Structure 1
Amino acid sequence: MKKALICGVSGQDGAYLAKLLLEKGYEVYGGSRDAQMSSFKNLVSLGIRDHIKLVSININDFRSVLQTVLKIKPDELYNLAGQSSVSLSFDQPVETLESISAGTLNLLEAIRFSELPIRFYNAGSSECFGDTGTTAADENTPFHPRSPYGVAKAAAFWQVANYREAYQLYASTGILFNHESPLRPKRFVTQKIVSTACALANGNSESLTLGNIEIARDWGWAPDYVEAMWLMLQQSNPEDYVIATGQTHQLKDFIKVVFETVGLKWEEHVRIDTSLFRPTDIAIGYANPSKARTQLGWLANYKMEDIARQMVKEWRV
C-alpha cells in the first residue's frame, strides 16, 4: 500500500485529492497546522474524514516538516498548502509569500535531507503567467505575475525546478488554471455568485455586488484537476504541466449560466463596485494543456457551463 502525505488537506483540492487517493488504495495522511483543532469540514462533506490519518504540520517550520516526513516516510508528498486567495494576497503579501515560497522550500529541503525516494507534487498557478493577451500559455511561456500570490507561486515553481535539477529530486509542478467546486469558500468569486443567486431564487432580496466581470478565465472542475496531480507523480520522469480546459470565458458568462440555472436574469441583480477591482489584475487568460493531454492522457471532463450548473445543484441540495 502506497503512502501519501497531503499538506493542505483541508482545502478544496486537498479534500478531493484525498478522496481520489483513498479510492486508489493509498494510505492517506492529511497535514494541517493544527489537526486537533481543525474542523476538516471538506473531508466531512465528502464522507472521508475518518479514513484520513490527520497530522499536525507547520510547513513554515523546517523542524516540523522534517519530523513529519521522517515519521511517515510517504511515497508521495503533495504540497497544496499556503494562502490560496489572489484577492487576499494584496492585503497580506508577506504572509502569502512566506506560506507559499518558504513552505515549499522547507518541504523540498526535508525531502533532500531525508534521502527518501519521495515523489513531490507542487501546486503551481496560472497566476504566474500574468496577462498573456490572446496567447495561450503553455509550459514554455515566460512568467510575469501581477499579484503577490502570483509572485509567490512563481518563486515556488523555480525552487521545485532547481531541486529537481540540482539534487535529482522527483519534483513536479502542476500549473493549474482556475478550477472550482462546491467546496470553494464564499470568498472566492464563483462561490459568491452561486450562493447569492441561490439565495435570490429563494426569495432573498439582497443584490450581488462584484468587481470586474469583464475578466476572462479558463475554468475547470477541481475533481478533474486532482487526477492530473496524481498522474504527474506516476510518470517515469518528473516534469511540469499546464492543467486547464483550453476554453476561456468571461466572468459574466459564468454569472449568466448560474442565474439562468436558478431562473433569474442576472442583469436585474448584479451591481458593480469599482472598489472591488484589484490593484493589478489579469484581463484574460488562455491556456494550452496539450502536453498534459499527450503525456499524461489527461483531459478535462467538465466545461464552464457544466461547472456552474453543478455548483448550483450542490448548493441547493
Structure 2
Amino acid sequence: MFDFDPLLVDDERRDGEIPGISRETTIDDTRLFDAYSQAVVDVVDLVGPSVVRVETAADPAAKRRGGTGSGVVISPDGLVLTNSHVVQGASSVRLALADARTVNARVMGNDPHTDLALLRIVDDVSLPAARLGDSKGLKRGQLVVAIGNPLGFESTVTAGVVSALGRSLRAQTGRLIDDVIQTDAALNPGNSGGPLVSSRGEVIGINTAVIAGAQGICFAVASNTASHVVSEIVRHGRVPRAFIGVSGQTVVLPRRLAVALGLAQARGVALDAVEAGGPAAHAGLQTGNIVIALDGQPVTGADDLVRLLSGARIGIETVLTVIAGAALRRVTVMPVERTRERET
C-alpha cells in the first residue's frame, strides 16, 4: 500500500521533483489585473476625447420630448455617429464635448431601420476622431469597453466582453437589425449612441439597447453596418435599400462542406426567417438556406448582405448563391424598394 504524506508532496512540489508538476503552480493575479487595467485605460485615453453628449430640445408641436444620449466623432471635420432614437427626429442637436465645450450640429441623415443617425458639427472646430473598426473579426469573449453618458453621468467607462455575435434586434420601425453585437459591458439610458470599443482602440459597435430588468445583456449595432450607413448618408442623405424579405445571421461554414463545394470563404448568412409573399419566398428561398454570394460577390456576413442590397438593385433581377442542404443553388430574386413597414 502507498503511504501518502501531503507534507512530503508539498515539499517535493516546491523542489520540482514530482514528474509532470510544474514549479509554477500559481498565476500572478496582480500582473494579469494590471495588464487588463492598462488595456482599458489605453482605450479610454485614445477614444474618450471623441465621445460627446448629444442633447435634443423638446418640441411640443412635434410631440417630441427633449433628451440626452451619447455619440462618437468619426472624422476630424465633425461627423458624429449616434442612435436614431437619440435624435428623435430632430433636425439639429447640441453636443457637449469631452473638454466641456458645447457645439451645434445638424442631422445629416437618420436611419431608424438600423437605429443610426449621422450628425455634422456646424461650428468651426477640429476634434479628435475615433476609427471605425472591422466588426467581422470579432470573437466571443473579446474585451470591449463602452464609453458614454449613462443617466447623465458624463464620460462613464464600463468594460466587459463580447457575449455573442450575429444577434437580431428589432428597431422601432419594426425592422430587424441584423448582425448585432451582444455585450455584458454595462449600459444604461444615456449610453445610447456611444461607442463600443475594442482593445485596439477601434469602434466596433454603436451602443443601442439593453434588456430592461436583465443584467449584462446589452446590444450594439456592428461597426460594419454603421460604416455602410455612414457612406450612404454622405452620398444620398438617406439609406436607400432593396427589400427581399429575409433576416439572417452570420455563420461559420462547416469546413467539410466548404471543401466539398469548393468554397474559399469561411462564412455565410444563414436565413432564419423568410417573409411569406416576399420576393425571397417567391424565388423559393427557405429558412436554413445559407447565402454565400450575391451576383457573384461573396457574402461572408450579414453586413455584406445589407450592403449589397442597396437601392441600385431595386427592380433588377439579382442572383443569390445559396447552400441548400449539401448543394449549391443559384436563385434569382427581384428586389423591391423597402418601405417603413418592411423589415429586410
**TM-score bracket for the superposition, by shorter chain length:** under 0.3
The structure number with the bigger radius of gyration is 2
More strand by percentage: 2
If each structure's helix is expressed as a fraction of its own residues, which one has the higher value?
Answer: 1
TM-score by length of structure 1 reads 0.28
